[in-house]
Amino acid sequence: MGATDEFLRAIGEAILPDSKQSISDWAQDNRILPPDSPEPGAWRNNRTPYLVGIMDALSPSSKYREVYLKKGHQLGGSALGENFIGHSITSAAGNILAVFATVEDAEKWELSRFEPMRESTKALRKRVLDAGIKGADNTKRRKKFPGGFIQLIGANRPGGLKSSTMRYVLLEEMDEYAGDIGNQGSPEELARKRTSNFGKKARIFGNSTPTIKGASAIDRNYERGDKQHYMVHCPDCRASQYFKWSNMKWPKGQPEKVAYACDCCGALNTESAWKTKGYINAHWLPTAVGEPGVASFHLPSMYAPLGWRAWSVLASEFESAANDPVALKVFVNNELAECWEDLSGQIKGAEIAKRREGYELRSIPVGCLALVMSVDVQGNRLEYKVLGFGRGKRHWVIDYNVIDGDPAKSDVWDRLTAIRERPIENSFGVSMRVQTCAIDSGGHHTHEVYHYARLHRHAGVFAVKGSSQPGKPVIGRPSTQDVNHKGKTIKGGVQLWMVGGDTAKSLLFNYLASDEEAVPEERFIHFPMGLSDEYFEQLTAEVYDSTKKTYRKLAGRSNEVIDLFVYGFAAAFHPLLRLDTMRDADWTQLESLVEPVIGDLFRAPLALSAAATAPESSTEQPTAPVQTSAQTITPAPPVVQHHDDDWLSGTDNWLE
């Protein structure tokens, strides 16, 4: 039978009443995972049993109209969405809207997810014709099939969310959407309205890894639903329970020995035991009375099948992230499938001012191994900061001041050069220089900034501009700004580097919040005595706006100090330095240059810390079977709210 005959047959099938087959049964009977999948071949529900209940909630016979999945990474959630699409095309045909963060994301999904599924699954292949076949009338973002079509759109384009009535809606990675589309409402609200004509026959599936509390779309919709948890059974006492991170136990420094403690009997069992015996008769259990017709599911990475995201890997990642607020945020979002609470609104300038330490401006404390500069350009002045970096993501404010004068005049920039090139001697007698310098070009003196960056490019000076889009990296790829008379870029011309302002501000506020209870030597950001109270008021002049998913400046407050931190992070992450990717061995090599072991010129050798001089305390646990008493196991601590070989390139003359 040819492709045309199969298509005509599919048209005949499309006018039949909707199939009563569940999505999970459809996947088991029809879905073939393509050869490049981690586990190619026929779909097996018993491989990811926790997905079955979610698929059934989306099925035609279900009482639910909307289904939301708040998920961790690598659990099969995206594949579930693909099954939802496949079933909607073949068994209960209707118009489908698939919404992604951007149009580019939509096209990427079509190429990497939909097309491989269509080609490998016969039931889809005979209904959605290849774009190259005559009469197929299919494009990357719109494909026809008997009984309807599927349209792929970006949530950043409001037009696509307002046309055509839809029976089915897929909301993929909802937390990546913009918070509001042209003051017309959130993308999920606009998409939901598209299904109103279908009443109870409509189905909406939203899934995402959560992000910031109060701004998370998936968390907001999870709260609307019945908050279901996947209940497993203790391999020993058979008590029913769902996985919680606080029950993960392992000896300190030995994540490979991780085990899970039963809520009821306290017995410790391995991942294998819980995911074999414990998964027998496992089921989803609602824990709240949600809005009528709304189901919601919480699925952290702890549920991943054996051979996927191992508990030992999670334990190891947690140990690495426990003392790093930035890494911990990633762990909480991606592995625990929980929101991270942004604390920028709770940080007070007067409290941070109390963290000033006993070193002066333009002096370099022990541990500070690299210097960068950031410059904010105002109409009548330049504001600059020198920021120091050391191992363990430690930062020191080394210098901060204002250069008064019109940035259109060269003398202002000459004074900046003199300050930038002036070395600062540390207590080891080593003269340190600024290695990179990021200058804001987004104001009224763009061309002056370009000119200065062009002249001093060899010294690590570069122009930056803040990105208007959230979620961008601290420093992105550069674009060449100089063009010739034909409009072509000039090789070696000045480059503009885009800066992810929200990302950098999140780093800053996470560090400041984490430092609240830390002793001075363990703080992430250190401040000298010479900073004014106004400096710290500026440092707290912005708060996170959960509605717009961005940081907002408080009325009547100046925020140049925050901007200087943002540009300082960009200077440190620039390819000339890449301090964010340096390994311990790199820091050791740099330390041997900056803090040579010949001794400190200004003070007696540092006394060993109490921890170093006291008898070593044992952190080892007695070797015992995993089922031993929980008292001999270190619990997972509660969750509280790289590399290039050329990392020293381009740093000539920064040490004298």
On the question of pLDDT at 625 being above 80, the answer is no
Q: How far apart are CA 299 and CA 296, in angstroms?
A: 10
Q: Give, in order, the Cα–Cα distances in Å from 2 to each of 7, 12, 147, 269.
A: 9, 16, 20, 55
pLDDT at 322: 85
On the question of pLDDT at 522 being above 60, the answer is yes
Higher-pLDDT residue of 650, 528: 528
Q: Return the SS3 of 147.
A: coil
Q: Return the SS3 of 506.
A: helix
Average pLDDT, the chain: 87
Domain ranges of the chain: 3-227+289-309, 233-287+311-341, 345-587
On the question of pLDDT at 605 being above 50, the answer is no
* % of residues, the chain, pLDDT over 70: 86
* Closest C-alpha among 221, 565, 271 to residue 389: 565
Q: Give, in order, the Cα–Cα distances in Å from 506 to each of 319, 342, 530.
A: 21, 8, 26
pLDDT at 647: 35
Q: How far apart are CA 213 and CA 480, in angstroms?
A: 38
pLDDT in tens, 265-276: 999 999 999 999
Q: Return the SS3 of 589.
A: helix
- 109 and 98 Cβ atoms separated by less than 8 Å: yes
- State the first-to-last Cα distance of the chain, in angstroms, to the nearest integer: 79
Q: How far apart are CA 610 and CA 518, in angstroms?
A: 17
CATH hierarchy code of domain 3-227+289-309: 3.40.50.300
Q: Print the SS3 string covering 184-253.
A: CCCHHHHHHHCCHHHHHHCEEEEEECCCECCCCHHHHHHHHCCCEEEEEECCCCCCEECCCHHHEECCCC
Which of 149-158, 432-441, 587-596, 640-649 is least confident? 640-649
Higher-pLDDT residue of 620, 44: 44
For 640, other C-beta atoms within 10 Å of its C-beta total 11
Which pairing describes strands 168-172 and 203-208: parallel, antiparallel, or unpaired?
parallel
Length of the chain: 656
pLDDT at 656: 39
Q: How confident is the model at residue 356 (pLDDT cuts 50, 70, 90)?
A: very high
pLDDT at 490: 72
Q: How far apart are CA 415 and CA 458, in angstroms?
A: 18
> Is 0.85 topped by the overall pTM?
no
pLDDT at 488: 67
Q: How confident is the model at residue 629 (pLDDT cuts 50, 70, 90)?
A: very low
On the question of pLDDT at 491 being above 80, the answer is no
Higher-pLDDT residue of 425, 650: 425
Q: Which two tokens stand for residue 90?
A: 């073949």
Q: How far apart are CA 329 and CA 511, in angstroms?
A: 11
pLDDT in tens, 400-419: 999 999 999 999 999 999 99
On the question of pLDDT at 1 being above 70, the answer is no
Residue 596 burial class via C-beta count within 10 angstroms: exposed 0-12, middle 13-18, buried 19 and up: exposed
Q: How confident is the model at residue 619 (pLDDT cuts 50, 70, 90)?
A: very low
Q: How confident is the model at residue 185 (pLDDT cuts 50, 70, 90)?
A: confident
Average pLDDT over residues 231-243: 97
- Residue 32, CB half-sphere, CA atoms under 13 Å: how many? 13
List of residues 6+ apart from 363 with CB closer than 8 A: 398, 424, 528
Q: Which residue has the tokens 């007695």?
A: 622
pLDDT in tens, 395-404: 999 999 999 9
pLDDT in tens, 91-105: 989 999 999 999 999
Q: Phi and psi of 349, rounded to 5°?
A: -60, -40
Which of 49-58, 320-329, 452-461 is least confident? 320-329
Q: Which CATH class is domain 345-587?
A: alpha beta
- Element (DSSP H or E) covering residue 57: helix 50-58
In our burial notation (b when 16+ CB lie closer than 10 A, e otherwise), range 440-460 reads: bbbeebbebbbebbbebbebb
pLDDT at 432: 97
pLDDT at 161: 77
Task: Give the angle subtended at the CA of 524 by the CAs of 523 and 530, to the nearest 5°.
Answer: 80
For 569, other C-beta atoms within 10 Å of its C-beta total 28
Average pLDDT over residues 590-607: 67
In our burial notation (b when 16+ CB lie closer than 10 A, e otherwise), range 295-328 reads: bbbbbbbbbbbeebbbbebbbbbbbebbebbbbb
On the question of pLDDT at 492 being above 90, the answer is no
Average pLDDT over residues 576-583: 94
Task: Give the angle subtended at the CA of 74 by the CAs of 72 and 76, to the nearest 5°.
Answer: 100
Strands in 394-404's sheet, in edge-to-edge order, are 475-480, 495-499, 461-466, 434-440, 370-378, 381-390, 394-404, 525-526
Helices (H), 469-626: 501-514, 533-539, 560-573, 584-594, 610-613
- 373 and 420 Cβ atoms separated by less than 8 Å: yes
pLDDT at 592: 95
**What single-letter DSSP state applies at residue 469?**
S
Q: How far apart are CA 148 and CA 138, in angstroms?
A: 12
Task: Give the angle subtended at the CA of 62 by the CAs of 59 and 65, to the nearest 5°.
Answer: 85
pLDDT in tens, 247-306: 999 999 999 999 999 999 999 999 999 999 999 999 999 999 999 999 999 999 999 999
pLDDT in tens, 7-58: 555 455 445 567 789 999 999 999 999 988 889 999 999 999 999 999 999 9
Q: Return the SS3 of 309.
A: coil
Q: What is the CA radius of gyration of the chain?
A: 29
Q: How confident is the model at residue 644 (pLDDT cuts 50, 70, 90)?
A: very low
On the question of pLDDT at 604 being above 50, the answer is no
On the question of pLDDT at 623 being above 90, the answer is no
pLDDT at 597: 83
For 36, other C-beta atoms within 10 Å of its C-beta total 9
Q: Give, in order, the Cα–Cα distances in Å from 565 to each of 386, 387, 495, 501, 502.
A: 9, 8, 21, 10, 12
Which pairing describes strands 228-233 and 283-286: parallel, antiparallel, or unpaired?
antiparallel
